[in-house]
Amino acid sequence: MFYFIIDVLGIIAFSISGVLVAMEKKLDPFGVFIIAFVTSVGGGTLRDVLLGATPVFWLKEMVYIIVISVTVVFAVMFRDKLKYVRTSLFLFDTIGIGLYTLVGIEKGLNVGLVPVMCVALGTMTACFGGVTRDILCNEIPVIFRREIYATACIIGGFSYFLILQLPIEVTYANIVAISIVIGIRLLAVKFKIALPNIYRASKKK
**Residues interacting with a copy of itself, by CB under 8 A?**
22-23, 25-32, 34-35, 45, 49-52, 54-56, 59-60, 62, 65, 76, 79, 108, 111, 113-114, 116-117, 120-121, 131, 135-141, 143-147, 150-151, 194-199
Helices (H) and strands (E) in the chain, counts: 8, 0
For residue 129, the minimal CB distance to a copy of itself (Å) is: 15
Q: Give how far Cα 204 sits from Cα of 91, 95, 112, 194, 200, Å.
A: 38, 40, 49, 22, 9
Q: Which has the closest alpha carbon to 173: 182, 181, 161, 183?
A: 161
For residue 172, the minimal CB distance to a copy of itself (Å) is: 27
3 state DSSP class of 1: coil
Return d(Cα 102, Cα 106) in angstroms, integer: 6
Q: Cβ distance 19 to 35 under 8 Å?
A: yes
Nearer to a copy of itself, 20 or 143 (CB): 143
Nearer to a copy of itself, 140 or 168 (CB): 140
